[in-house]
Amino acid sequence: MTAYLVRRLFYGLLVLAGVNVLTFALFFFVNSPDDMARAQLGAKRVTPEAVDKWKRERGYDKPLFLNEKKSGIERVTDTVFYTKSVQLFAFEFGASDQGRNIGYDIRTRMWPSLAVQLPAFVIGLLVYISFALLLAMFRATAFDVAGVVACVLLMSISSLFYIIGGQYVFGKLWSLVPISGYDGGFEAVKFLALPVLIGVASGIGSSTRWYRSIFIEEIGKDYVRTARAKGLGELRVLFGHVLQNAMIPILTGVVVVIPLLFMGALITESFFGIPGLGSYTIDAISQQDFAIVRAMVFLGSVLYVIGLILTDISYTLVDPRVRFS
Amino acid sequence: MPLLPFRIEVLWSDALVWLLVAGIAVYAAYAARRPHLRAPWSRVARNGSAMAAATVLAVFVLIGLLDSIHYRPLLPAQGGKAAYSTELRSALDLVLSPLRAQREKTYSAPFATRLYAKETVKRADGGEAREFPRLRHGGKHLQDPDDSAGDIALRAFRGAVAAALLWFAAALLLAAALARHRDGGIEDTWRAVWSGRTAVPWRAILATLGVLALVAGPVVALAPHYHVLGTDKVGQDVLYQALKSIRTGLVIGTLATLVTLPFALVLGVMAGYFKGWVDDVIQYVYTTLSSIPGVLLIAAAVLMMQVYIENHPELFPSTEVRADVRLIALCVILGLTSWTGLCRLLRGEALKLRELEYIQAARAFGVSHWRIMMRHITPNLMHIVMIALVMDFSGLVLAEAVLSYVGVGVDPSMISFGTMINSARLEMAREPMVWWSLAAAFLFMLLLVLAANLFADAVRDAFDPRVAMAGGGA
């Protein structure tokens, strides 16, 4: 099993290398640093001096892959590719195009993101699975049909409207919570309540339906018929057999997103003014700060790769059939 | 003088949309003659909720197609030389010309006759007063602008009656047409339709059409005289914006999935069929791509496209062309970043198929790899492709709104659900709230996405062999 995990780890590193090359190509081949400088400086008639200054300050004036002017190891290290891409592997994110330290920003901003995402994730999981089990229990009845119709209706509403509606009803109409903002410590609860609630609510439709379809598929299998033939009650069948066996498809979808909780939710954070990584990314996009976007792309894939490896580990925990060779 | 008072202008997205329509027509003709394709589609056609959803979708598609015929109107001749307007219009604009032309100064509520904000107005006696000024167009035929309820009710009633009559005539025509097929009387057929005894659920379709007619009738009657859904910040009619947004949503929902198809199909089939190193490479490529969180990858790609467009203004002669190219680029980017899921599905299925006996036999006969993949594997994967096509549509329409909010969606000058929500969002804090833009975008999006979801479910049930075998499909 260790050998398998080591192999997965190396594969993960290979994937990250691919992501790195891809983002590098996207950011430096589609447009040259000159183009980016001109787009950032705004006006059409920027002087060549201003462009050169912008590039020098941010280290984009180096050659892309090979620095002919330097000797020894610096021929490779004193290049855009090394300083901007390879160093991401050491989590050296460098400075943003505005001159801020990206690594520091990420370290401070990931906690508010997690404070919204983790409760939303845990509560959401419990709510969705309970609803789905309930629908599965009453499958093929009017209750089930109504539940599925409600799910389709809920998943047809844009996530933007969940946020707008929630802010309007809870924040403005009933004044239960502040509309936006954030505070450290215990005060954070009143700012977090609504984003968490909305995070859970906006996923109810699609997630409940997804879990329900997993349960329904399990219920159709032979071992369930055997369990019934032995005279087990509906509840024992659902909780003792179906839920356990549905863990594999559930884990496949769930474990992989756990590390990504650090990244935050783009839209929610920006609507609620939560100083997390999601709003950080949105701000970077609107300010066209390419360094931050590059860093976030890399961070996102690192977390995803970690999620994949965690998924592999979780299989061994719930399914004795999964044997690694 | 030129012959026509306008010049047809084909935008890139128009060309693609009409190409898509032609493609669907060819597919329909092809599928109609093949029992294995006709069977699932006729299962869809017998499904009541699916046909009701399809009716709504058809109305949306009709509006979208009308909005995909662009032209430049001829300007009044100056010096004998024909000149065309720089403003690009569509056939939908022509239909909605009162809505498009009747601009107010700024916000006004639905059915309002006065502006939403107080202004300093000169009185007739020379003095000045702060009051809500009258609208330029909304309710300008009224003697007393504050007594509009009766007029609105009367017009709405007339519209509803006209729509109901039209609907009734259409229903009768349908019954007559059906009667000729069934060798029965019209009265008999009429009863069969309304008791749900026809194979195709005409009752559901007619009921949907009836509801649509009862809503559309009063709106059509009122729209030339009032702003039924109010006006936005620059005084543009919100109903007009909502109707124009439909095309943007439809284009993104369909073209982006079409972009995914070649990648997913070619790479998925190749990976599953060849196995070995080909499979390894393709798996690596899609794992790498899907490891980047979707929004971030799209944002990075769109940012780079924006920089490219800003630095090459000479390639885009007008704002409409630029917005159109951005729309297509967005579709391509959405497609390039989202083919991985379908590719994984197709690879898994191709892996299973290649071990089946008929493929083994084909290989033993010496059929080439290319031919096996084309003739024996791909056709047996098409149900998965069809399901993916319809299932992805609604997700893409929703994604457009979110992406436009993040600032990596369509061009800000292009009317879409995303840009509507985005500009309305800024007025949330206003007291009293400007709610109608949001409400309009919400209603239209909900209707479109809900109809697409219901239709997609029926298509999935009809095409998925697992569901079809289990006797489902209803």
Three-state DSSP class for B63? helix
Encode pLDDT of A94-130 as tens digits. 777 777 888 888 988 888 899 899 999 999 999 999 9
| Cβ contact, residue pair B291, A304, below 8 Å | yes
Q: What is the pLDDT of residues B210-235, one digit of tens each?
A: 999 999 988 888 888 888 888 888 88
Q: Taking 80 as the threshold, does the pLDDT of residue B46 lie above it?
A: yes
Checking if the pLDDT of B266 tops 70, the result is yes
Bigger pLDDT: A26 vs B466: A26
* Contact: B310, A297; criterion CB under 8 Å: no
Mutation for testing the B interface, residue in A16, A153, A160 having most B CBs under 10 Å? A160
Tens-place pLDDT, residues B127-185:
777 777 777 777 777 777 777 788 888 888 999 999 999 999 999 898 888 888 877 77
Q: What is the pLDDT of residue B47?
A: 87
Q: How confident is residue B451, by pLDDT bands cut at 50, 70 and 90?
A: very high
Percent of chain A residues topping a pLDDT of 90: 25
Q: Which residues of A touch B402 (CB under 8 A)?
A: 158-160, 266-267
CB neighbourhood size of B207 (10 A): 15
Cβ–Cβ gap B288/A22 under 8 Å? yes
Q: Which residues of B touch A168 (CB under 8 A)?
A: 428, 433
Report CA-CA distances (Å) from B321 to A203, B86, B123, B312, B411.
37, 12, 46, 13, 11
For residue range A264-301, list pLDDT tens digits in order.
888 888 888 888 899 999 888 888 888 888 889 889 99
Residue in A157, A220, A263 nearest the CB of B293: A263
Residues 358-397 of B with CB under 8 A from A: 394
For residue A69, the model assigns a pLDDT of 72
Q: Which ranges of B33-148 does DSSP label H, i.e. alpha helix?
A: 35-45, 48-66, 91-95, 97-101
Edge-first strand listing for the sheet containing B70-73: B6-9, B70-73, B89-90
SS3 call for B118: coil
Residues from chain B that touch A27, judged by Cβ atoms under 8 A, are 300, 304
Read off the pLDDT band of B350 (50, 70, 90): very high
Whether B474 has a pLDDT exceeding 70, the answer reads no
With cut-offs at 50, 70 and 90, classify the pLDDT of residue B11: confident
Interchain contact A156–B (C-beta under 8 A): yes
pLDDT tens sequence across B359-409: 999 999 999 999 999 999 999 898 899 888 888 899 999 999 999 888 888
Residue B331, Cβ density class (10 Å: 0-12 exposed, 13-18 middle, ≥19 buried): buried
Rounded Cα distance, A13 and A306, in Å: 10
CA B235/CA B243 separation, integer angstroms: 16
Instruction: Let me know: does A67 contact A83? Beta carbons within 8 Å.
Output: no
The candidate with the shortest Cα–Cα distance to B420, out of B231, B252, B251, B250, is: B231
With bands split at pLDDT 50, 70 and 90, how would you rate the model's confidence at A32? Answer: confident
Q: In the structure encoding, which two tokens stand for residue B279, read together?
A: 């499979």
Q: Which of A218, A260, A285 to mutate to test the interface with B (most CBs of B within 10 A)?
A: A285
Chain A residues within an 8 Å CB radius of B406: 266-267, 282, 285
Q: Assess A161–B contact: CB distance below 8 Å, yes or no.
A: yes
Q: How many helices (H) and strands (E) does chain B have?
A: 19, 5
DSSP at B75: P
* A23-37, A241-255, B171-185: segment of lowest average pLDDT: A23-37
- For chain B positions 391-430, those within 8 Å of chain A (CB to CB) are 394, 398, 401-402, 405-408, 417, 421, 425, 428
Output the pLDDT for position B471.
Answer: 44
The pLDDT of residue B248 is: 93
- State pTM to two decimals: 0.90
The per-residue pLDDT for A44 is 60
Task: Let me know: does A195 contact A120? Beta carbons within 8 Å.
Answer: yes
Pick the closest to residue B201 from B40, B38, B49 (CA basis): B49
Per-residue model confidence (pLDDT) at position B80: 63
Taking a contact as any Cβ pair under 8 Å apart, which residues of chain A between 236 and 255 contact chain B?
A: none
Among A43-52, B198-207, B282-291, top mean pLDDT goes to B282-291
Per-residue pLDDT of B295-330, as tens digits, reads 888 888 888 888 888 778 777 778 888 888 889 999
What is the spatial distance between Cα B164 and Cα B300, in angstroms, rounded to a whole number?
A: 51
Confidence (pLDDT) at A325: 45
Three-state SS annotation for chain A: CHHHHHHHHHHHHHHHHHHHHHHHHHHHCCCCHHHHHHHHHCCCCCCHHHHHHHHHHHCCCCCCCCCCCCCCCHHHHCCHHHHHHHHHHHCCCCECCCCCEHHHHHHHHHHHHHHHHHHHHHHHHHHHHHHHHHHHHCCCCHHHHHHHHHHHHHHCCCHHHHHHHHHHHHHHHCCCCCCCCCCCHHHHHHHHHHHHHHHHHHHHHHHHHHHHHHHHHHHCCHHHHHHHHCCCCHHHHHHHHHHHHCHHHHHHHHHHHCHHHHHCCHHHHHHHCCCCHHHHHHHHHHCCCHHHHHHHHHHHHHHHHHHHHHHHHHHHHHCCCCCCC
CB contact under 8 A, B284 and A297: no
Q: How confident is the model at residue B78 (pLDDT cuts 50, 70, 90)?
A: low
- H/E element, B135: none
Q: Which of B59, B64, B63, B52 is nearest to B454 (CA)?
A: B52
Residue of A nearest to B399 (CA): A158
Chain B residue closest in CA terms to A260: B293
Tokens 């109809």 correspond to what residue?
Answer: B451
For residue range A140-166, what is the model confidence (pLDDT) as tens digits? 899 999 999 999 999 999 998 999 888
Predicted local distance difference test score (pLDDT) of residue B288? 92
Contact A168 B408 (CB under 8 A): no
B311:A38 CB<8 A:
yes
- Say if the Cβ atoms of B288 and A18 lie within 8 Å: yes
Amino acid identity, residue A273? G
Identify the pLDDT of residue B473.
36
CA distance B224 to chain A (A): 29
Residue A60 scores a pLDDT above 80: no
